[in-house]
Structure 1
């Protein structure tokens, strides 16, 4: 299926999880950025909004220094205040925010077009997210991962179905590391690339 132009120019997206770091989180972010992923999702969504915003200011600065796109997570208001066009939302939050849009397109109060990522866990989720205005999707979890202990992976067949169902870029997530061949595997399934968390948080 024809895919729309990808707003994230690259195969690898790093995803943060500060609880996995053995050093200071900001130092870990620098180490990640040195590896030059296409983007970094600041996923510390458990933080209160004020703390998340304070952290985001520092992470945005680091990412800018290394030329890495920084994608904020969940807190659209923070992205607006900090002038960031990139935001990643779970599908329920995407639904809520889209209720506030004009003409079916997600725009901030300053009328800046946002680059919207959305996490999906079914083909139906993927189709809905695209209709709501998502710019790209993360689909998972594809492989077994300690981050989802006890939950069976959805597998590559699921990923193929998601990629065939939408016209926007799809990134696989879950159980993908460095040099394990899985990035190539998910790309063969039709994905644009992969999101990697644990490997980036422990380098």
Structure 2
């Protein structure tokens, strides 16, 4: 399973056109993670992204902004662990799919207890998104995968070259950000064949 995590600032071309490229290329999920936006800006962008995703039957997870997701009728949300803890349990349970970002096996167990349908675990490899921060590595990924019954998606420094290694650790999927913001449809399709 391949998930594209967005960062429109890394996109060299038109962001919404790149969303369409991701969908046509066959990514399984898109996590719309635009952390610098206000909730109203995010909601406006999310509406457009959800429209594109629905044309291609691509699952789109909204990120952080619970109320925006509710307003747009989106039943999929991805939260940080602190956000998930702070969100009312009834609200968390109202989403069909809840994803939570974790950075340890212990936190993965907590995320599962909070109702996560899946977790993203990272960062596994060195990545330009986290300069100066040592990667947690494959041992960490194995520990997270072994600690929960829900799917674990590896994130952080994932490339074509190391994808197989993450799956060998027990990951159900991989998340890519930087590369996905400029990949072609053909490159994405090739990635999905791995």
TM-score, with length taken from structure 2: 0.91
For 1:174 and 1:107, how far apart are their aligned partners in 2?
28
Q: Is the 8 A contact 2:102 2:121 kept in 1?
A: yes
The CA distance in 2 between the partners of 1:58 and 1:74, in whole Å, is 17
Q: Paired residue for 1:195?
A: 175
- Alpha-carbon distance in 1 for matches of 2:96, 2:82: 17
Aligned CA-pair RMSD: 1.2
Deviation at 1:184, TM superposition (A): 1.4
Deviations 1:84-132 (A, max 9, x none): 11100000000011xx224xx8334xxxx43100000111111111111
What's the offset of the Cα at 1:70? Answer: 0.5
The number of equivalent residue pairs is 183
Contact 2:119 2:151 in 1 (8 A): yes
- What is the match of residue 172 of structure 1? 154
Indicate the residue corresponding to 1:6 in structure 2: none
Q: Which residue does the alignment assign to 2:105? A: 123
Confirm or deny that 1:150 pairs with 2:150.
no
Instruction: Write the deviation string for residues 154-177 of structure 1: whole angstroms up to 9, x where unpaired.
Output: 000000000000010000001112
Alignment partner, residue 185 of structure 1? 165
Residue 93 of structure 2 aligns with which residue? 107
Q: Which runs of 5+ in 1 are unaligned?
A: 1-10
Tell me the equivalent position of 1:95: 85
- Uncovered stretches (5+) of structure 2, i.e. residues with no partner: 184-194
Q: Provide the TM-score with structure 1 as the length reference.
A: 0.87
Structure-2 separation of matches of 1:166 and 1:30: 33
C-alpha contact 1:106 1:114 (8 A) present in aligned 2:
no
CA apart distance, 1:43: 0.3
**Where in structure 1 do 4 or more consecutive aligned residues deviate above 2 Å?**
105-108
Alpha-carbon separation, structure 1, partners of 2:143 and 2:24: 34
Residue 100 of structure 2 aligns to a residue in which SS? strand
SS at match of 1:163: helix
For residue 70 of structure 1, give the secondary structure of its aligned residue in structure 2: strand
| CA offsets 1:12-31 (integer angstroms, 9 cap, x no match) | 01100011011111111111
More helix by percentage: 2
